[in-house]
């Protein structure tokens, strides 16, 4: 039986995700790696989208929830590919490790759908098993003497998701301090304008008061002279 063509709503969503991925690729990732990353994520997204469309378990989900599953898979694929790029593990082993990680995610998602798991549960379980699969794959390479202890340690230490979370926190703090600075500046300018206005106002009133006093004094003198 010929496989049904992927619905345009899925292909459009995947294109949008890939565009977003391009914006998030770190500066230390070279052009070849970036192309490899995008290509792998697109292929994996299409495979999962086909399951969303054709598998009974996934097809019962509404499109919004299906997109959430696709996004979770894309995000973890993105982070673990980058971890592998930085790990020191030879390039020819990246694909087998990612295939294990993608298979793990598919199994977890399938189980979550069948058990009506919440998004929070899905996120927790995905993180746990993706991390476990990544670590065990590295340990398998070490046991096979493909990598040494130093590379094993370096690979295990990689966590692009934590790096990006820290960068986001720094960015949010910068925004918060900028907003606070702008507020203080605005407050200072407002107070300054208010004070200037009050001073000007009182100066004007003072001049009027002096002129009024002088006028009254002159009137009094003229009136007094007429009496004399």
Per residue of the chain (228 residues), give pLDDT as tens: 456 789 999 999 999 999 999 999 999 999 999 999 999 999 999 999 999 999 888 888 999 999 999 999 999 999 999 999 999 999 999 999 999 999 999 999 999 999 999 999 999 999 999 999 999 999 999 999 999 999 999 999 999 998 888 776 544 454 454 455 555 555 555 665 555 555 555 555 555 555 555 555 555 555 555 555
Residue 69 makes CB contacts below 8 A (sequence gap 6+) with 48, 52, 58, 61, 109, 122
pTM exceeding the 0.75 threshold for the entire prediction = no
């Amino acid at each position: 039986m010929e496989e049904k063509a992927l619905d345009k709503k899925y292909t459009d969503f995947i294109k949008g995700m890939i565009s977003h991925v391009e914006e998030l690729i770190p500066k230390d990732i070279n052009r070849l790696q970036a192309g490899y990353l995008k290509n792998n994520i697109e292929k994996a997204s299409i495979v999962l989208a086909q399951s969303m469309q054709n598998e009974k378990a996934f097809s019962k989900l509404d499109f919004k929830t299906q997109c959430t599953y696709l996004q979770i898979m894309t995000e973890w694929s993105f982070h673990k590919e980058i971890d592998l790029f930085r790990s020191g593990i030879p390039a020819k082993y990246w694909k087998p490790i990612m295939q294990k990680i993608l298979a793990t995610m598919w199994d977890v998602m399938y189980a979550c759908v069948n058990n009506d798991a919440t998004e929070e549960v899905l996120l927790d379980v995905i993180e746990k098993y993706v991390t476990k699969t990544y670590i065990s794959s590295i340990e398998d390479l070490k046991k096979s003497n493909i990598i040494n202890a130093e590379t094993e340690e370096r690979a295990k230490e990689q966590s692009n998701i934590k790096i990006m979370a820290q960068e986001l926190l720094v960015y949010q703090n910068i925004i918060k301090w900028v907003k606070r600075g702008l507020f203080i500046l605005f407050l200072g300018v407002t107070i300054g304008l208010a004070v200037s206005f009050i001073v000007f106002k009182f100066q004007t009133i003072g001049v009027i008061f002096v002129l009024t006093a002088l006028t009254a004094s002159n009137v009094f003198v003229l009136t007094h002279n007429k009496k004399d």
